[in-house]
Amino acid sequence: MGEVEKKQPLWYLPHHPVFDCAANCAGIALNDRRLQGPDLTTPLIEVLCRFRLGSIAVAADIEEMFMQVKVPKGQRGALRLWWWPDGDLDGPAQEYQMTVHPFDAIFSPFCANFALKTTVNRFAQHFETPVGSCVEHNFYVDDFLGSFESIEEAVRHIRDLSKLLLMGGFKVTKWMSNSVHAIDCVPVDERAPSLRELQGNP
């Protein structure tokens, strides 16, 4: 979060455990006043059908995907909130504004997917594997579902996918696979919690 900048669109986000961009004040909600943008999300049915093609299944997640994408400075005023410095509820509340995309905003999925596709367009040519196509066709928002014909192919894609998306500021984590040997190339702290104790090489 950042400090408030003047002369911007103004909206205060209600929040409890999460920000609520659909909450209304006097019949108006932030999501009613912002454009959604085109749907850049790969249809789930396509991702699931491709997932069935290979025998080595791999899944992963982009860590806090929306929070990796910055909101342009001139638009942050629409994402304001009141909060207490250091969590001290006895002190005066202070005005803040979001600098990254909140999960509940109608425009966040488009912006995050656009940033993901921009990363592919800028950097995918630096890799030998067709990792750009992998991102384009095997992600449903922040969830990756891929399948490969061999362990070697899966390992190459796991490594290249992590490197490619990191170039755009996205960390791929919670890796899992039906192959112990494929997941063995992933650092333990980047595996899905249920697989952290799994070792392919005794």
Query: What's the pTM?
Result: 0.80
Write out pLDDT tens, residues 111-129. Answer: 999 999 999 999 999 998 9
Are 54 and 65 within 8 A, CB to CB?
no
What DSSP assignment string belongs to 65-127? TGGGSBPPGGGGGGGEEEE-GGG-TTS--EEEE-SB--TT-TTHHHHHHHHHHHHHHHHGGG-
Are 68 and 170 within 8 A, CB to CB?
yes
Write out pLDDT tens, residues 25-50. Answer: 788 888 888 888 999 999 999 999 99
